[in-house]
Every structure is written in structure tokens, then in C-alpha cells.
């Protein structure tokens, strides 16, 4: 598929067989075992924390299984957006704020956390070599050991090598070039790699929030605010995952997440397509084709990284119709907000917009409380009780 529109046209209106078919998404572990195993097989080869145990068993059991026939159905909120926009981080924040959190579950995230600094250093060394920006001679042996390492547990010796290389001026310089294409929080994990390499290291909540581990299945989380029940549904954002956006059942609202820092980035799946322009196309599909009648809440995410990026990279270099100050956070973020709102065909429909930082728990809690109150008020209004 070469465009979001083509992807949407090719997507069947009926959910694919691997998606739990219940109209209320009453997905429990037993009902989704085959789907989780299929999703696990689609992942790149990985060394699991416990040999022989499928990867999905290391992850939190997020599927809601407590709705009985006598219970009222939860209001269902679907999280949509392109790959790496931060919606899964918002999903994790909701689990922290409204759910059970991650107490005692750090081991379920240890593999991607420990792999992050090693994977990043692999990439940095390859880009440095391609640009003839080699590390200093005294670090060459460490570079060779890191390049020879494979995904798995981070040993103290390997952590020391990564930390040594991260101090190299050429590696630091390469980390800022476009070709490096590091995860948003790669530097966070590189800065603490020696701590991560400590035997028996247990991830913090911040580690879990910041690690990138792509959504490869439909994950749900049930929670309550007062007496109101909610279910959040997180669907993968990469192109290969988007057929799963054909969700059936009663959707209360769509939470669409866009990463503001994508204005100068291209898709991993298609290097000719600007990521933020792809996000605008996806918003068009979600609002005007898939969920025409549902309330839309737009999250313009990663505001902290965006504010840092516009200090160095001009928005106008990538969006030629932007004529404001490239260094003005309010002007640039407002510009992108209007770009999204312009996609709405129904100009009478309200789109609730929030500028967010998904890794900031207090920010997400404040914003999500406003979203919940809006949904409850809208529900009361629609029922004629107001």
C-alpha cells in the first residue's frame, strides 16, 4: 500500500479473524491467546527474559474480563494515531493513574528496556562509520564488542562499553543527525546504561513509560472514575497494524494522538512520506470515514521534545505554508492544530484539542480528567437528562 487512503480502501469493514469479535470487546486472556501468539510471531527474533515463555506473557494483563451480564457496559475510548506517536505511553499512564499501575510488574518490561541502549549504540556506530566519524582509537575495541553483541540481557561489561562509547564526541555528534533515527527517549536510556546493567536491575515507572515497544495487538484496559466505567482500546499505529482500526461495537469517543516532533521525520515503512503529513491523512480517515459520528479528542503530543526541536529545526523548511516564527512554540503548535482541524468535513463538529507530554504523569492526569468530564457531560446531554 502506497498511501493512507489506499490502506483504508483495502481494509475490510469486518475485523480480521485474529481480532476478538465480541461487540463489547470483552477480551480475556483465554479468548485472545491465539491472537497474542500470532502477534508474538510477527515480532523480530528476540531473547525472552524467561526462555520458552511467549513474549506476551511478560506484558501486563490488560484485557478487561470483569464485565458480567448484569453490569452496565463501559464507555469505550479508542486510541488511534501513527506509529511512535505516544499513544501507548498514554495507555500506560492511564494504567498508572486509574488502574493498578506497574508495582511488581517491572520484569515484564525488562527486555525492551535493557535492549534500548545497546540497539541505539549499534545504530550510532553504523551511522558514524558511514560518515567517517569513527570513535577514538582507545574506544575501537569497545565498539567492536558492542557491534558483536546480540539482543539479550545487558551485562555489566557490555553496559560499560556502551557508556564509554557514549562519551565519545563523534558518537554524541552523530546522535543529533537525521540518519541516526533514534527512539525519542534513546538518550534517556544511554545516559543510565551502567545502572541498567546492574545485575537484578528492576525498571522504574519512568523506564516503563519511556521505553519503546511497538503495539502489535489490540490491548484494552478497564477502569472506573467514580461510578462511571471506561474501557480504553489501544491499536497499533504502523501501516501493517491499521486494518485493526476497523473496530466494531459502541465507541464512545476517539482519542487521536499525533507527535508534534514528526514534522521533519519520515515513515520507517516509506521514507518518501513525512510522518506528520501521514498523521494528518490518518486523522482525515478516522474523522471523516471511520468514526464520523463519534466525539474526537486530539492530542498534540511530545510538546517538551517539540519545544526543544524547534529551537534547532525550522518548521517552515518542511511545511512551506507556515509563515510564523519558527522558534515560537505557541505559533507553531497552533499552526499544526489548525492543520488538523481543517481536515474536518463537518465544520459544526467540535474537536477537543490538548497539547500533551505523554511521559509527564501530572500532565496526562490533568488532561485525561478533563477528557473524562467532557465525555460524562456529553453522555448526560445526549441522554436528555440535562
**What residues act catalytically?**
84, 89, 212, 234, 238
Question: What SS3 class is residue 301?
Answer: strand
* Cell numbers representing residue 83 in the block: 506509529
Strand order in the sheet with 75-81: 219-225, 228-234, 75-81, 253-259, 296-301, 351-355
Q: What angle do CA 245, 249, 250 make, to 5 degrees?
A: 105
Residues 6+ apart with CB under 8 A from 326: 310, 314, 315, 316, 332
Residues 6+ apart with CB under 8 A from 380: 386
* Cell numbers representing residue 31 in the block: 479468548
Checking 224-228 for CB contacts under 8 A at 24+ apart, the result is 224/98, 225/98, 225/372, 225/376, 228/75, 228/372, 228/376
Give how far Cα 288 sits from Cα of 8, 16, 281, Å. Answer: 12, 22, 10
H-helix segments, the chain: 4-10, 33-41, 87-98, 110-130, 140-148, 156-166, 169-174, 186-191, 193-196, 205-210, 275-285, 303-309, 329-341, 361-382
Q: Which of 54, 15, 60 is nearest to 241 (CA)?
A: 15
Q: What angle do CA 102, 103, 106 make, to 5 degrees?
A: 65
Q: What angle do CA 239, 240, 243 make, to 5 degrees?
A: 90
Look at strands 228-234 and 219-225 and give their pairing.
antiparallel
Q: How many CB atoms lie within 10 A of CB 71?
A: 9
Q: Which of 219, 229, 280, 285 is nearest to 252 (CA)?
A: 229
Amino acid at each position: 500500500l502506497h498511501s493512507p487512503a489506499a490502506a483504508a480502501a483495502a481494509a475490510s469493514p469486518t475485523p480480521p479473524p485474529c481480532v476478538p469479535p465480541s461487540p463489547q470487546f470483552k477480551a480475556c486472556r483465554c479468548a485472545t491467546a491465539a491472537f497474542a501468539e500470532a502477534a508474538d510471531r510477527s515480532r523480530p527474533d528476540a531473547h525472552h527474559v524467561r526462555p520458552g515463555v511467549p513474549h506476551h506473557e511478560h506484558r501486563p494483563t490488560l484485557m478487561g474480563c470483569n464485565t458480567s451480564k448484569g453490569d452496565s457496559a463501559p464507555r469505550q475510548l479508542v486510541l488511534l494515531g501513527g506509529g511512535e506517536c505516544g499513544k501507548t505511553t498514554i495507555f500506560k499512564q492511564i494504567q498508572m493513574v486509574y488502574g493498578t499501575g506497574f508495582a511488581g510488574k517491572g520484569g515484564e518490561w525488562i527486555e525492551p528496556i535493557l535492549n534500548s541502549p545497546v540497539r541505539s549504540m549499534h545504530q550510532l556506530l553504523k551511522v558514524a562509520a558511514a560518515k567517517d566519524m569513527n570513535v577514538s582509537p582507545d574506544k575501537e575495541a569497545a565498539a567492536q564488542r558492542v557491534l558483536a553483541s546480540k539482543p539479550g540481557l545487558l551485562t555489566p561489561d557490555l553496559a560499560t562499553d556502551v557508556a564509554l562509547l557514549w562519551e565519545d564526541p563523534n558518537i554524541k555528534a552523530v546522535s543529533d543527525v537525521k540518519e541516526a533515527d533514534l527512539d525519542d527517549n534513546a538518550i534517556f536510556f544511554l545516559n543510565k546504561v551502567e545502572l541498567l546493567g546492574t545485575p537484578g536491575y528492576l525498571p522504574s515507572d519512568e523506564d516503563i513509560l519511556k521505553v519503546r515497544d511497538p503495539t502489535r495487538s489490540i490491548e484494552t484496559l478497564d477502569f472506573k472514575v467514580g461510578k462511571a466505567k471506561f474501557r480504553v482500546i489501544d491499536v497499533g499505529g504502523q501501516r501493517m497494524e491499521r486494518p485493526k482500526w476497523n473496530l466494531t461495537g459502541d465507541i464512545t469517543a476517539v482519542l487521536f494522538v499525533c507527535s508534534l516532533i514528526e514534522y521533519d521525520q519520515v515513515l520507517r515503512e516509506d521514507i518518501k512520506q513525512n510522518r506528520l503529513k501521514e498523521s494528518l491523512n490518518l486523522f482525515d480517515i478516522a474523522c471523516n470515514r471511520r468514526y464520523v459520528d463519534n466525539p474526537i479528542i486530539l492530542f498534540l503530543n511530545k510538546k517538551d521534545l517539540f519545544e526543544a526541536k524547534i529551537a534547532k529545526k525550522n518548521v517552515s523548511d518542511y511545511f512551506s505554508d507556515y509563515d510564523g516564527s519558527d522558534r515560537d512554540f505557541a505559533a507553531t503548535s497552533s499552526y499544526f492544530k489548525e492543520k488538523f482541524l481543517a481536515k474536518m468535513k463537518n465544520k459544526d463538529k467540535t474537536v477537543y484539542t490538548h497539547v500533551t507530554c505523554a511521559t509527564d504523569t501530572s500532565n496526562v492526569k490533568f488532561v485525561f480528567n478533563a477528557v473524562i468530564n467532557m465525555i460524562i457531560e456529553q453522555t448526560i446531554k445526549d441522554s436528555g437528562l440535562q
